[in-house]
Amino acid sequence: MPSAVRQRFSSQLPPQRSGVSGRSPSLSVASSDAEALGPSESLGQRVRRQARQLSFRAAQRRGSRASRQQAPREQSSPGGAAVEVLRRGLLRSLPLTLFVSFVVVPSTSERILSSFNCVEFRTADAPAEARAYLADDLSLDCSSAEYAEVRTWAYAFLAVWPVGVPVLYVLLLLAAKRAIRDNRSTALSRASSFLWSEYEQRSFWWEPLDLLRRLTITGFVLIGTQGSPQLRVLIALLVTILFITMQFLLSPFRRPLDDRMMMLGHVCLLVILIAALVINVCNLSADTCETFGMGSTSYLPALVFVIFGTVMLVAGVLLLVWAAGRYASALPTLRLVENGLEPPLTIAQANKWHLFVSHVWATGQDQAANIKRALQVTLPGSRIFLDVDDLEDIGALESEIGQSALVLMFLSKGYFTSRNCLREIRCAVQRRKPIVLVREANEAKGGLTLEDSWHECPEELREGVFDGRHAIDWHRIADFQKMSLKLIAEQLLLASPQYASTHNALPLYFPGEMSVDMLSFDQPVCLRFSLHNAGAGSVIEELASRFRHSLSVAPCSEAPLSESGSESGAASSLTSATPRREVFMLYLRSGTFVGDEAHGLAADLRSARAACMHVLAIHENDPAQGGCAFSHFLTTTPEDLVEGGLYTSLAVALHAAPHREISIALAAKALGASKRKGVRLAAAGRLSAAAAKTASMLASSMRASREQGSVRGSTSASRSSVRRSSRASDGEQEAEDTAPGGSLLHLALAARHSATRVVSRGRAEPGSAAAAAHGVHAMEEGVRTTKFRARLR
């Protein structure tokens, strides 16, 4: 029997050896004793015994190897600490060292390599003999012993600067190659980011190659080409053509605009080199110059190339400005508000993913997939884990979370009842991973309130999941969805090594995104509302407060606005000469068309529609403010209003903050607002946020001064001059894309001049003068801020 065999074997086993403490008796059996058991044991027992022996021997080898390695490490600990201090010091000084070397190496290398530039001279007494002198010092004979010493020192410095610096760049990039390609943040990759951060991952090596090009054109071409300037120009010409080809094929920069600018620079250099070659040939041989039809001197070819080069440069700059606008407005990538550039993505060395998306399949699979795809487009290079795409083994969920920098929990119905979701939540809480909560806002798509999610969550996990965190609502309308993506992307970036220790917030924006600050009304609007519509007054006042000079508010019980502009009570004062239109605003929430006020609201609506007044419906979506599904109003609204087309136009969704800003902007657009001229460039991503804001303020102030001014005949001339100055300044601003400070300065000066003229003549009211002065002051502050940032760049 097997049990009898085991008992007999156990009685024959020798005592346990004490060679390795903590091991089981089976691992301490000597090989000779084990072999004595061989004839009477089964095949399975023999296999298991041999496996235990092999594992025991491997453990012994690992232990002995570790002990041998630990001894010298302990002995050399003081020296190792010194090396570590030296390494940290070098890494801290590396960014400044790279910047200084990048600035200094071209001029320094040119001076070093000019030591090899000797010029030959022939005398009338001995025309067959030529003597060479150093071009920088004609008193130094290139065949003398003194020049030999200079040449020796030149070779020494050649190894340090023109050769040593590019080699240093190459070695640093090779050492950080894996981290750069994997988007991992290491001490070396962060310190050397000056060399590779502007280039694509596949072209991270471009900087030392471009440095070698510049050194070749400005310095290396002097070696071995004494007395032959045509040969030097020809070599530089060939090198430039080679790099133009490489630039066209590889496009090494992250931003396409940088590629185009570099290409334009190469083409301009090519034209200059061709001009230099032609001029040199004309100086050597008048017959050759006449062959090209350019006369016997180099004056005409020089003039031709100067004119052609100037035209080409101006055309190239204009094309770059046009391309910059298209690039900024076409790509949906997120940009940093502080500099207008795409944020760099880094990841810790121990991590594999920037974001882990945790969701339940039943109600969150489609939304999670959309979040991943959208983030990969808006944050190029982001690594996002989604189980349907990246999970290979269901047992590796905890391992994947451990390798993620941030965990996104998508809250929808059934999320906290899923077994695998609970595994992910517990792992994230136990490992103290940064967590961002995203909530499905649409109940029809599996959405639920944050309170319901809190009750659905197991009690022991509530503190780790919800405490100190606000959920981001996920929407399907594009403008609201962009806001949700910005909030998620901000948390993703704040969890990366690049910003984790230096930023508490990271404002982002989409080029051309919807914003209240970029909108204005060309025509004043009066907002009418019903006193029977509970909550409508506060919402309309909130909207009107954002456009004080363009929107006025008046309940329907007040007298209608007369042509002379008199209005009562709560209506804001607008110029009587300016035509305006009236809009009836309907605020929809759970209590609308319910109770005693329903008949009065319906009567006001019928009167407004009978007067051909435009009706704008605002649908409250915040549950705390009485938000409900839109289908509720189809049953509570009187049938004659529904059948009469009350809801033909889409209602504007009013969400809670931070999406409320988007709702206000959409409502303003529905009322007729459009983007201001002064901020269209900023909407395309071509002006700084400060410049855009000041331009907006000035445009509003100037418009307010025109609206609030007196309507006497003589005032129209001053007002038209202000308009002309504003339009001229706007045109200058759109043309001067590369120097926004200059265009803003023109606009500020024109506004100050116009405001001074109006005030000096006494034809403006105090309110308009103060508004104009405030706008001018804000614009001048924007000019100074823009110029200061330009100097920093």
pLDDT tens-digit series, residues 616-658? 999 999 888 888 888 889 899 999 999 988 998 889 999 998 9
Between CA 259 and CA 52 the distance in angstroms is 62
CB atoms under 10 Å from CB of 7, counted, come to 11
Q: Are strands 130-134 and 508-509 parallel, antiparallel or unpaired?
A: unpaired
Answer whether residue 25 shows pLDDT above 50: no
Place of tokens 């309130």: 449
Fill in the amino acid letter for 82.
A
pLDDT for residue 325: 66
Answer whether residue 10 shows pLDDT above 90: no
- Sequence-distant (6+) residues with CB within 8 A of 416 are 422, 425, 453, 456, 457, 458, 461
State the angle between helix axes of 299-330 and 256-284 in degrees (0 to 180), rounded to the nearest 10. Answer: 180
Between CA 520 and CA 536 the distance in angstroms is 22
pLDDT for residue 790: 42
Rounded average pLDDT over 339-347: 85
Question: Please, what sign has the CA dihedral across residues 288, 292, 296, 297?
Answer: negative
pLDDT digits (tens, 9 = 90+) for 46-83: 655 666 555 555 555 555 554 444 444 444 456 678 88
Contact (Cβ atoms closer than 8 angstroms) between residue 248 and residue 319? no
SS3 46: helix
- CA-nearest of 745, 733, 739, 754 to 679 is 733
Rounded to 5 degrees, φ, ψ at 373 are -65, -45
- Beta strands per DSSP E along 329-434: 335-336, 355-358, 384-385, 407-411
Q: What confidence category does residue 264 fall into, taking pLDDT thresholds of 50, 70 and 90?
A: confident
pLDDT for residue 329: 56
Rounded average pLDDT over 137-148: 90
Contact (Cβ atoms closer than 8 angstroms) between residue 292 and residue 304? no
Between CA 83 and CA 61 the distance in angstroms is 30
Q: Which two tokens stand for residue 580?
A: 């305006």
State the angle between helix axes of 256-284 and 229-250 in degrees (0 to 180), rounded to the nearest 10. Answer: 160
Question: Please, what sign has the CA dihedral across residues 9, 12, 15, 19?
Answer: negative
CATH 3.30.390.30 describes domain 355-503: no
pLDDT for residue 596: 86
Q: Are strands 130-134 and 137-141 parallel, antiparallel or unpaired?
A: antiparallel
Q: Which two tokens stand for residue 648?
A: 């033909």
Q: What confidence category does residue 214 fall into, taking pLDDT thresholds of 50, 70 and 90?
A: very high
pLDDT for residue 112: 92
Going from the C-alpha of 567 to that of each of 224, 543, 563, the distances in angstroms are 89, 19, 10
Answer whether residue 370 shows pLDDT above 70: yes
Query: Which of 122-131, 716-725, 775-784 bottoms out in mean pLDDT, i.e. has the lowest?
Result: 716-725
- In CATH terms, the fold of domain 516-675 is Rossmann fold (3.40.50)
Answer whether residue 141 shows pLDDT above 70: yes
pLDDT digits (tens, 9 = 90+) for 392-446: 888 889 999 999 999 999 999 999 999 999 999 999 999 999 999 999 988 888 8
Q: Are strands 130-134 and 118-122 parallel, antiparallel or unpaired?
A: antiparallel
pLDDT for residue 60: 53
Rounded average pLDDT over 378-389: 90
Three-state secondary structure of 564-633:
CCCCCCCCCCCCCCCCCEEEEEEEECCCCCCCCCHHHHHHHHHHHHHCCCEEEEEEECCHHHCCCCCHHH
Answer whether residue 586 shows pLDDT above 80: yes
Give the chain's mean pLDDT.
76
Q: Are strands 335-336 and 508-509 parallel, antiparallel or unpaired?
A: antiparallel
Write the DSSP assignment of 758-788 as a string of letters: HHHTT-S-HHHHHHHHHHHHHHHHHHHHHHH
Rounded average pLDDT over 447-459: 92
- Sequence-distant (6+) residues with CB within 8 A of 476 are 442
Q: Which of residues 12 and 584 earns the better pLDDT score? A: 584
- CA-nearest of 713, 723, 711 to 755 is 723
Between CA 325 and CA 556 the distance in angstroms is 45
Fold agreement between 355-503 and 516-675: yes
Contact (Cβ atoms closer than 8 angstroms) between residue 222 and residue 162? no
Phi-psi label, residue 38: left if phi above 0, alpha if psi -120 to 50, beta otherwise? alpha
- What stretches of 611-714 show up as alpha helix (H) in DSSP? 631-636, 639-643, 660-670, 680-683, 689-708
Between CA 122 and CA 319 the distance in angstroms is 50
Q: Highest mean pLDDT range out of 226-230, 259-263, 276-280? A: 259-263
Q: Which of residues 3 and 600 earns the better pLDDT score? A: 600
Q: Highest mean pLDDT range out of 35-44, 203-212, 505-514, 695-704? A: 203-212
pLDDT for residue 54: 59
Calculate ∠ Cα 406-409-415, nearest 5°: 155
Answer whether residue 764 shows pLDDT above 60: no
Tell me the β-bridge partners of 93: none
- CA-nearest of 675, 713, 715 to 695 is 675
Where exactly are the structural domains of the chain? Answer: 2-62, 88-223, 228-330, 355-503, 516-675, 677-792
- CA-nearest of 443, 429, 495 to 473 is 443
pLDDT for residue 740: 36
- Sequence-distant (6+) residues with CB within 8 A of 507 are 336, 337, 338, 490
Q: Highest mean pLDDT range out of 465-479, 534-548, 682-696? A: 465-479
Q: What confidence category does residue 332 fall into, taking pLDDT thresholds of 50, 70 and 90?
A: confident
CB atoms under 10 Å from CB of 571, counted, come to 20
Fill in the amino acid letter for 118.
C
Question: Please, what sign has the CA dihedral across residues 62, 64, 68, 74?
Answer: positive
pLDDT for residue 684: 43
pLDDT for residue 31: 37
Write the DSSP assignment of 26-44 as a string of letters: GGG--HHHHHHTGGGS-HH
Q: What confidence category does residue 662 fall into, taking pLDDT thresholds of 50, 70 and 90?
A: very high
Query: Which of 42-46, 47-51, 781-785 bottoms out in mean pLDDT, i.e. has the lowest?
Result: 781-785
Answer whether residue 762 shows pLDDT above 70: no
Phi-psi label, residue 333: left if phi above 0, alpha if psi -120 to 50, beta otherwise? beta
Place of tokens 């002065």: 773
- Beta strands per DSSP E along 506-549: 508-509, 519-520, 525-529
pLDDT for residue 787: 43
- Sequence-distant (6+) residues with CB within 8 A of 568 are 554, 558, 559
Rounded average pLDDT over 559-569: 37
Q: Which two tokens stand for residue 269?
A: 């250099």
Rounded average pLDDT over 765-776: 44
Q: What confidence category does residue 557 fall into, taking pLDDT thresholds of 50, 70 and 90?
A: low
Contact (Cβ atoms closer than 8 angstroms) between residue 394 and residue 342? no
Structure-derived torsion over alpha carbons of residues 606, 610, 612, 613, reported in degrees to the nearest 10? -30
Q: Is the peptide bond before 658 cis (omega within 30 degrees of 0)?
A: yes
Three-state secondary structure of 229-294:
HHHHHHHHHHHHHHHHHHHHHHCCECCHHHHHHHHHHHHHHHHHHHHHHHHHHHHHCHHHHHHCCC
Query: Which of 114-118, 552-556, 721-725 bottoms out in mean pLDDT, i.e. has the lowest?
Result: 721-725
- CA-nearest of 555, 510, 494 to 530 is 555
SS3 48: helix
Contact (Cβ atoms closer than 8 angstroms) between residue 488 and residue 371? yes
Phi-psi label, residue 295: left if phi above 0, alpha if psi -120 to 50, beta otherwise? left
CB atoms under 10 Å from CB of 324, counted, come to 21
